Amino acid sequence: MNPEVVDRPDRKRLMLLGCVMLALITIAAVFVRKTSADGAMAVACIYGGGTLAMAVLTARVTPYPRWAWFASAGVIVLTLVVAAVLMPSRVQVREWSSTGWMMPWWFLVSASSPARATGVCATRGSLLVGVSAVFSGILLGACWFTR
């Protein structure tokens, strides 16, 4: 757990900054996807970089251990790179990048979730990494099966 306490004004400012960052990431990815003929890796880099930036931004307020926070960001970035390699055509990029905005968003939402010490939803690091793998798999699987 992260022992650092963040007060309410700092948390509100962080959420506002995170929302602005998410909007800029999404706009940049949509612009690259629309203007580039072979933009699969570029879109993956934008969403991957945005995911890492969001993880860095929200690491201070998350109740999860930092190793798990950044490991789950790595899982998501790896998933985006795999999507760019396995589904590079323009139609496929449109499919998986239409859900790519959820990757950095997931860190913004998870950081603001309350900490639980016990139970199924306890803030354990291994659970976070597993959930990020499942989350990434669902998004890519939905794109894979719809093609």
* pLDDT by 10-residue block (mean), the chain, 147 residues: 59 90 94 82 93 93 87 93 83 81 88 66 73 86 70
Torsion, Cα 133 66 15 31, to 10 degrees, reads -50
- Residue 45: per-residue pLDDT: 93
Query: Contact 139/109 with Cβ under 8 angstroms?
Result: no
Taking the model in full, what pTM does it have? Answer: 0.83
3-class SS of residue 33:
helix
